Amino acid sequence: MKKHKFTYEKSGVNIAKADRFVSFITKISGKNKKENKNFDNIGGFGSVTNISRKFKKPKIVASTDGVGTKIEIANILNKYDSIGIDLVAMCVNDLIVQGAKPLIFLDYISTNKIDLKKLKLILKGIIKGCKFSDCELVGGETAETPGVYKKGKFDIAGFSVGIVDHKNLLHKNKIKKNNLILAVPSNGLHSNGYSLVRYILNKKKINLKKNNFLKKELLKPTKIYVNEILKLNQYKLINGCANITGGGLADNIKRIIPDGLKAEINLGSIKTKKIFKWLKKNNVSDKEMLKTFNCGVGFCLIINSKNFIKIKKFFNKNYKPYVIGNIVSGKNKIKLNEKINWYQN
């Protein structure tokens, strides 16, 4: 009787393919090297990074995140070239809330089976996101996990480390009464609320592949705000900021408001976008919209009113900040006034 030979490949794991992907990462990420030219981080056990000497009292800020079920939209449309940008954005946009310059980025990709074509597209997006953020991809992990994910399914996560000098660290005690709250426009949904979006698509039996508007909107990459926010912080033009992700405007702004103060937001001032109008038309309540989506506000700044005109000059026409509220004395940290006009131009 012939004995059956057990191999890792027969169990569903292809190490040779994984090695080819690592070689691809090494080649493409080498073009993005800046501070760490003396270190070959990709393929090693750990990454080595220099810390610039220009930081007198450096503070390390770290963040980790994923892109949620936006991945499923990428799978439906078989389009993977921008999901990596989303991954970087979700991490680095959190770092800059505290004034930190993104320094390094690592990714984790877990998949049923290594599909080199798909993974290369995801990786190219990650590299592009790192370039936008002026940080370096220094490592990561690609795990082939047959039995955990169904055929064609995968998940991705990111981890980023930033650095900020102690004097430039943004924290709650810089926010004062009478400060203005500015909305910086989003690029659309960014990477939050996609489980609700997919639920609507399913219930309404919408064929995403045949809907040109949704095809374009649902895979728009998350806006990366690194360059603008770091410049503003360098010139000491902001007192605080918030990345508007899961939980929406109220929950994210509350996180940065000091005790004894309250953010008063005029919802009627918010400029929405077509994708949010589409969602609203599909019987989603105002409360649910505000809790689930950014509703057109991707990032918030808290500033001294005298700096408003200067601040607007740092953004291009698509992302010009505008006033949506101010800081007042009070409890509960936030108050939402008026209603969003979902159908304004």
Phi and psi at residue 143, to the nearest 5°? -110, 125
Q: What is the CATH number of the domain that holds 184?
A: 3.90.650.10
- 8 in a domain, yes or no? no
CA-nearest of 169, 181, 173, 170 to 260 is: 173
More confident residue, 52 or 267: 267
144 and 288 part of one domain: no
- 101 in a domain, yes or no? yes
199 and 228 part of one domain: yes
149 and 288 part of one domain: no
231 and 132 part of one domain: no
More confident residue, 81 or 147: 81
User: Where in 112-251 does DSSP place strands (E)?
Assistant: 136-144, 154-165, 180-185, 240-243
- 161 in a domain, yes or no? yes
More confident residue, 39 or 221: 221
Q: What is the pLDDT of residues 175-220, one digit of tens each?
A: 999 999 999 999 999 999 999 999 999 999 999 999 999 999 999 9
Final residue belonging to a domain, choices 128, 144, 168 = 168
Q: What is the pLDDT of residues 301-318, one digit of tens each?
A: 999 999 999 999 999 999
86 and 139 part of one domain: yes
In this prediction, residue 147 has a pLDDT band, given cuts at 50, 70 and 90, of confident
- 51 in a domain, yes or no? no
Query: What's the one-letter identity of residue 289?
Result: M
101 and 152 part of one domain: yes
Does the pLDDT of residue 33 top 60, yes or no?
A: no
CA 298 – CA 63 distance, rounded (Å):
18
Alpha-carbon distance values, 182 to 146, 220, 336 (Å): 47, 23, 14
In this prediction, residue 172 has a pLDDT band, given cuts at 50, 70 and 90, of confident
Q: What is the pLDDT of residues 329-344, one digit of tens each?
A: 998 899 999 999 987 6
177 and 232 part of one domain: yes
- 45 in a domain, yes or no? no
With beta carbons less than 8 A apart as the criterion, state whether 323 and 269 touch.
yes
- 3 in a domain, yes or no? no
CA-angle at 118, arms to 219 and 103, nearest 5°: 70
Alpha-carbon distance values, 286 to 173, 181, 295, 325 (Å): 32, 21, 10, 19
- 142 in a domain, yes or no? yes
Cα 311 to its chain centre, rounded Å, is 22
Q: What is the mean pLDDT of residues 267-283?
A: 95
Q: What is the pLDDT of residues 85-131, one digit of tens each?
A: 999 999 999 999 999 999 999 999 999 888 889 999 999 999 999 99
- The three-state secondary structure class of 161 is strand
Q: What is the pLDDT of residues 58-97, one digit of tens each?
A: 999 999 999 999 999 999 999 999 999 999 999 999 999 9
Structural domain containing residue 110: 15-40+57-168
Final residue belonging to a domain, choices 149, 168, 187 = 168
Residues in the chain: 345
Final residue belonging to a domain, choices 146, 168, 190 = 168
In this prediction, residue 19 has a pLDDT band, given cuts at 50, 70 and 90, of low
62 and 187 part of one domain: no
158 and 212 part of one domain: no
Q: What is the pLDDT of residue 98?
A: 96
Q: What is the pLDDT of residue 142?
A: 87
319 and 198 part of one domain: yes
The reported pTM is 0.89
Mean predicted lDDT score pLDDT of the chain: 89
CA-nearest of 286, 199, 282, 219 to 249 is: 286
148 and 194 part of one domain: no
Does the pLDDT of residue 11 top 90, yes or no?
A: no
241: tokens are 């900021």
Q: What is the CATH number of the domain that holds 93?
A: 3.30.1330.10
Phi and psi at residue 297, to the nearest 5°? -110, 105
223 and 333 part of one domain: yes
- 48 in a domain, yes or no? no
User: Where in 21-153 does DSSP place strands (E)?
Assistant: 58-66, 101-111, 136-144
Number of domains composing the chain: 2
